[in-house]
Amino acid sequence: MDGETLERWRRAREAFGTLIDLPADARAARLAAIGSGDARLAADLAALLAQVGELVDETDGAEAAAEPVAQRAGTVIGGRFRLLGLLGIGGMGEVHLAERTDELDRKVALKLVRSDLPIPVARARREQQILARLSHPHIAALVDAGIGDAGQPWFAMEYIDGARITDWCDRRALDLPARARLFARVCRAVQFAHRNLILHRDIKPSNILVDAEGEPRLLDFGIAKLLDGTDAQQTQTLAFTPAYAAPEQLRGEPATTAGDVYQLGLVLYELAAGVPARRAHEVARARADDDTPLPRVDQAFGALTVQAPDGADRIARERGLGVERLRRSLRGDLGRIVAKATAADPRERYDTAQALAEDLERWADGRPVAAHRGTFAYRLRKLVRRHRVATAIIALLALGLVASTLFAVHRAAEEREQRRQAEAAGRRADQQRQRAEILLGFMNDMFRQADPQNADGVEPTATQMLERAATALEARTDLDAVTHAALLTQVADTFNSLFLPGRAADSAQRAVNLLEPERERRSGEYLMSVGILLDALQMLDRSDAQLALVEHALPIAARTEEPAIWSSLLLKFRGAARCSRGDFPGCAADLREALQRIEGAPGARPAGVASTLHQLAVLLNDEGYPAEAVRLLRQALDALDRDPAALRADRETMRVNLANSLAAQGRADEAITLIEKGLAEPLGLYGSDAPFVEAMLRRSLARAKVLRGEYAQARELLAAPSGAMPADHPGLPRHFSHSHLVAARIALDLADPAAALAEVEAARRQVATESDAGATLLQLRVEIVHADALLRSGRCDLALPRWQAARERLDASIGATPSWIGAEISDGLGRCALAAGDTARAESAFTAAIAGFASATGEASPWTVRSRIHRLWAQAMASHDAALLDRLDEARGALAEALGGSARAQVWQTDLLIETLSSELRVPLDRSRAERADQARAAFTALTGRPVAFRDGLTGFN
C-alpha cells in the first residue's frame, strides 16, 4: 500500500469512527461538510455507512450519487443480464437483482464494481477465476462474469432468496445449540475457501443468508484475493466493513485466514447474544486502543439488560430462554469460544475456521471444548451430559420418585396439623427421608452403570440399564414394600416408554402385588402402579386381564382425594379393552364417561383430557364417523397446546389422525397440508418406530392424493421403500392392508376392476388371521371395496351377498346407527339394485346412504353428494323425466366444489353418466354437456392410455 493510499485510508477510518457514533441529523451534516472538501471520501463513507446498516439522511449529494443507480433498472449487462433492481451497496460496488435475457426464470445477483475504483482488467479476470473455484453447497456460486463496454467488471452470482442468518434464527426463536450447529456449517464453508487459497475478508451477517431449506449460504467473495499472490500488498484493501474488520485489517496489515476467523467470531457474537459488532466495539473505541479485546459476550449482554431491558428480554425470548438463563449460558463454554475467535492477537485465535466449527459442534453436543482448559471436574460434567440415554432414563425414574415423595411429604404435612395424627405423621416423614436416601443411592448406582469406565469403555443401552435396575431391585431385601413398589413402578413406566411392555408388565405387576395389602391407605401409589400395569397390558393386547384389573381398582379410585381423575383413567383403559374385544358400543360409552369425568375435574392435566379425546376420536373415525372425529381431534390439540409438559410425539400423532379424518370427509387439501408438515419434521422423536411412522404418513398422503386425482404421485408414495423398518413390526400387516386398499381405489377410479380385485385380495391376506376390534373394522372395509370391484367387473351376483354379509357384521359390531361404513354398503346395494332394473329398491337404498353419509361426514361432503347423484340417476331411470338432467348438472357442480376442483375422476364419471342418461332418455345432448363428456373421455384416456366406460355409478373416495 503506497503512502498516499495509506494516508487516505487513515482519514477514512477516523472519519468513519466519528460518523458512526453521531445521531442521524448530525451525521448527515458532518458527511455534507466532508463532501464539500473531498467528494470522493464522502461517497466512500456513505457507502460504508449503508453497508453496516446505518441510516443516513438523503442529502443533495447522496441523492446525486443514488440517482444513476435508480436509472440502471432495465439496463442489459454483458449482453445477457437485465437489471431489475438494487439489492445493496458495498465497499467495492453495487449488487443488483437481474434476470437472464437468454434463459427463462433465471435470477442472479449481479455485482457491478464501482467505476471510480481503478481496478485493472487483469485483476478483474483473476477474481473471476477465484470465484469460479468456489463450488460448495454453502457458498453462492458464480454464474457468469465479464467486463462491461466501459471497462467496468461485473460478476453474476447465484441469487439466494433468503434472510440474514441473525434474522432467520431470531424469527424462529432458535436455541443456542441449534444456532451453533447452523453456524458451524458456515465456518466449514470458509475453511473450504481457505483450502482453495481464497480469503473472504468481509464476513458479516448480511453476507450470510439462510435459504428456504434452512441451509446457510455465504455471499460475496468478490473482494477475496489469492493467498499465493506474488505481491504482498494484494492482500490489502479498503473494501471491508469496518465494524467487522479484524484489528490487523484496521492497521493496514496484510490479511490472513486469522482475519476471517475474527469476523466469524463477531457474527457468532451477535448470533449468541444479539449484540451487533458495532456495539461490541464501543468499549474498545472508548479506550482508544485497537488491540483492546472485545468485552466478554456475557458482559455485553449484561450491560444491555441494564441499558435496554426490553431489548434484552426480546433477545432472550428469541433464543427460547429467560434473560438470566441466557446470561449464564453466555458465561460458559460458548463465551469462551467467542472470546477465542475474536482475540485481538491473531495468534490466540483458532488456527482455522474448521477448528472453530468443531468447537461449536462439541459445545452443542455437550462435550469439552478446546477453548476451555478443562479441569477434571469440567470433563466429568461433560461426560455425564454426554450420556443422554442414561440421563434420560435416570430423569424418568427420578421425576416419578420425586413426585411420589413430594406427594407423600405434602400429605404428612397436612396430617401434622391434626393432633390426633402427629405420631403417624412423624413415622411417615421418617419413611420419606429413608426413601429419599434410597432414591439417591439408586440413582448413584445408575450413574455408575452408565459410565463407560465401568463397562469396558462401552456405554450401556437404555434397555440394559433398566434390566440391571430391575434385577437389582428384585434382589434387595432392605426396602419397605412402599419404597420397593415405587421404584418398580418407575422402572416399569420407563420400560413402557421404550416399547418393552413385557418387561414393564413384570415390574408393574410386582409393584401392584407389593401395594395390594396397603391399597386403602396408599391408594395414590397403588393406582399409579395399576395405571402403569394397564398400559403394559394394553400394548400386550391382554384385554381380559385389563378388564379384571379395572373392575378390581375402580372402587379404590372412588375413595381417593381425586376420584374423577383416577376413575377417568381406569374407564379409559376399560374402554380400550372393550374395543379390543369388539365391543364398540361399550368402548364408546366408557370413553365418553371418562371424558365427562376428567373435563370438569379439579387438577386434571390438559394432556389427560387430550388423550381421552384422541382415543375416542380414533374409535369414531374407524367406525365411520369422521366428522365427529375431526371435532374431537381439534379439541384434543387445543388441550395439548395448553399443557407445557405435553409430548411432541403425542401432538404429531394427533395431527396425523386429524389428517386421516379430514381425508375421510373428502377434505383433501387440508389433509395434505397436515401430512406434508409431518413428513417435513424430524421423526427421531418416534425412536425405533420412526421408519414405520414415515411409511404410514406416506400412505396417508397417498390416500389424500387420490382424492385430488394425483394418481401418479399416490403410486410413487405407495411404492417408496420402507427403509429400516423391521420385517416383524406388529403394525405392518394392517399398514400393508391399508396400502393395498388405496391401490385398489386407484384402479377402480381408472376403470381397472381386475387390478382392483388383485389388490383387494392382497389386502385381505394381510389381516385374515387377526381378530381384534381394529382388524374387524379393517376387514369390513376390505369387503366393501371387494364388492365394489366385483360390481364393476359385471358380477353383481357375487357383490350383493358380500355387501349383505358386511351389513350383518357391521350391525353386530357397532349397531345399526348411521355411519360411513353403513352408508357405503347402502350405496353399493342401491347400485346393484339399479343394475338389476329395480329402481324403487335402488332409490330407497340411496336415500339411506344419503342419510348415513350426511350424519357421518357432513351434508356437503363428496360422499353425500355422490349418493345424491346416484339417487337422481335412479329417479331418472324410473320416471324418464328429462328435468332431472338439470338437477344432475347442479349436483355435479356441488361434487366439484366438495372435491376442490372439477378435474377429478368422480366429476368426469358424472359427465359420462349424464351423457348416457341423455341417450337413454332420448334427450338431445346440449353443447356444454357434450363438451364435458368429450373432455372426460380425453382425461381418462390420458390417465389410462385406453378408452374407458363407467356404467355402474361413481367410484368411492376411501
Alpha helices (H) in 308-421, listed in sequence order: 309-317, 323-331, 333-341, 353-364, 376-386, 388-416
Nearest C-alpha neighbor of 318 from the set 161, 178, 163: 178
> Domain for residue 153, yes or no?
no
Give whole-number Cα distances, 810 to 615, 737, 786, 828, 937, in Å. 21, 19, 16, 15, 37
Is the CA virtual torsion 115, 120, 122, 128 positive or negative?
negative
Count CA atoms within 13 Å of residue 305 on its CB side: 15
pLDDT category of residue 319 using cuts at 50, 70 and 90: very high
Residue 103, strand partner residues: none
Q: 70, 95, 116: which is the final residue of a domain?
A: 70
Model confidence pLDDT, tens digit, residues 233-291: 444 444 556 778 888 877 777 778 888 999 999 999 999 999 887 777 664 454 444 44
Question: Is 186 in the same domain as 51?
Answer: no
- What local confidence, expressed as pLDDT, does residue 478 receive? 66
Q: Are the C-beta atoms of residues 565 and 609 closer than 8 Å to each other?
A: no
> Domain for residue 203, yes or no?
yes
> Domain for residue 799, yes or no?
no
Q: What is the DSSP string of 567-582?
A: HHHHHHHHHHHHHHTT
Average pLDDT over residues 453-457: 48
Instruction: Tell me: pLDDT of 379 over 50.
Output: no
Question: Is 354 in the same domain as 396?
Answer: no
Place of cell 457491478: 112
Model confidence pLDDT, tens digit, residues 838-853: 999 999 999 999 998 8
CATH number at residue 459: 1.25.40.10
Model confidence pLDDT, tens digit, residues 198-236: 888 889 998 899 998 899 999 876 554 433 333 434 444
Nearest C-alpha neighbor of 200 from the set 188, 218, 216: 218
Is the CA virtual torsion 649, 651, 655, 661 positive or negative?
positive
This prediction has a pTM of 0.51
- What local confidence, expressed as pLDDT, does residue 420 receive? 47
Residue 93, strand partner residues: 113
- What local confidence, expressed as pLDDT, does residue 50 receive? 60
User: Is 382 annotated among the ligand-binding residues?
Assistant: no
- What local confidence, expressed as pLDDT, does residue 1 receive? 42
pLDDT category of residue 366 using cuts at 50, 70 and 90: confident
Question: Is 292 in the same domain as 419?
Answer: no
Amino acid at residue number 98: A
Q: 619, 654, 676: which is the final residue of a domain?
A: 676
Question: Is 298 in the same domain as 346?
Answer: yes
Of 649 and 573, more confident: 573
- What local confidence, expressed as pLDDT, does residue 753 receive? 93
Model confidence pLDDT, tens digit, residues 300-313: 888 888 888 888 99
Instruction: Tell me: pLDDT of 124 over 70.
Output: no
Q: Give the whole-angstrom CA distance, residue 215 versus residue 183.
A: 10
Average pLDDT over residues 885-914: 93
Nearest C-alpha neighbor of 913 from the set 945, 954, 941: 954
Model confidence pLDDT, tens digit, residues 790-837: 999 999 999 999 988 888 888 877 666 667 888 999 999 999 999 999
- What local confidence, expressed as pLDDT, does residue 303 receive? 81
> Domain for residue 773, yes or no?
no
CATH number at residue 346: 1.10.510.10
Question: Is 353 in the same domain as 477?
Answer: no
- What local confidence, expressed as pLDDT, does residue 741 receive? 92
Of 246 and 549, more confident: 549
Average pLDDT over residues 412-428: 49
Model confidence pLDDT, tens digit, residues 602-654: 777 888 888 888 888 888 887 778 888 889 999 888 888 887 666 676 777 88
Average pLDDT over residues 939-954: 88
> Domain for residue 109, yes or no?
no
Q: 651, 676, 701: which is the final residue of a domain?
A: 676
pLDDT category of residue 761 using cuts at 50, 70 and 90: very high
> Domain for residue 724, yes or no?
no
Domain count, the chain: 4
pLDDT category of residue 918 using cuts at 50, 70 and 90: very high
Q: Are the C-beta atoms of residues 952 and 835 closer than 8 Å to each other?
A: yes
Model confidence pLDDT, tens digit, residues 60-74: 333 333 334 444 678
pLDDT category of residue 146 using cuts at 50, 70 and 90: confident
Question: Is 333 in the same domain as 440?
Answer: no
- What local confidence, expressed as pLDDT, does residue 723 receive? 59
Phi, psi of 730 (to 5 degrees): -65, -20
- What local confidence, expressed as pLDDT, does residue 57 receive? 33
Identify the domain containing residue 544 by its residue range.
386-676
Question: Is 574 in the same domain as 618?
Answer: yes
How many percent of the chain have pLDDT more than 70?
74
Instruction: Tell me: pLDDT of 20 over 70.
Output: no
Question: Is 283 in the same domain as 343?
Answer: yes
Q: Give the whole-angstrom CA distance, residue 352 versus residue 260.
A: 9
Question: Is 351 in the same domain as 476?
Answer: no
Q: Give the whole-angstrom CA distance, residue 223 versus residue 201.
A: 7
Instruction: Tell me: pLDDT of 662 over 80.
Output: yes
Q: Are the C-beta atoms of residues 466 and 503 closer than 8 Å to each other?
A: yes
- Give the lowest-confidence range in 544-558, 769-783, 785-799: 769-783
Alpha helices (H) in 136-274, listed in sequence order: 165-171, 176-195, 247-250, 257-273
Q: Give the whole-angstrom CA distance, residue 393 versus residue 110.
A: 55
3-state class (DSSP) for residue 520: coil
Question: Is 562 in the same domain as 662?
Answer: yes
- What local confidence, expressed as pLDDT, does residue 791 receive? 93
- What local confidence, expressed as pLDDT, does residue 8 receive? 60
pLDDT category of residue 357 using cuts at 50, 70 and 90: very high
- What local confidence, expressed as pLDDT, does residue 70 receive? 42
Amino acid at residue number 336: R
Q: Give the whole-angstrom CA distance, residue 807 versus residue 646.
A: 41
Of 143 and 114, more confident: 143
Q: Give the whole-angstrom CA distance, residue 894 versus residue 866.
A: 9
Of 421 and 313, more confident: 313
Q: Which helix (H) or strand (E) holds 99?
A: strand 93-100
Residue 158, strand partner residues: 108
Instruction: Share the mean pLDDT of the chain.
Output: 78
Average pLDDT over residues 359-375: 77
Give whole-number Cα distances, 431 to 481, 581, 773, in Å. 11, 43, 46
Nearest C-alpha neighbor of 873 from the set 892, 854, 893: 892
- What local confidence, expressed as pLDDT, does residue 831 receive? 94
β-pairing verdict for 81-89 and 93-100: antiparallel
Q: Are the C-beta atoms of residues 341 and 268 closer than 8 Å to each other?
A: yes
Question: Is 624 in the same domain as 575?
Answer: yes
Question: Is 434 in the same domain as 540?
Answer: yes
> Domain for residue 181, yes or no?
yes
> Domain for residue 752, yes or no?
no
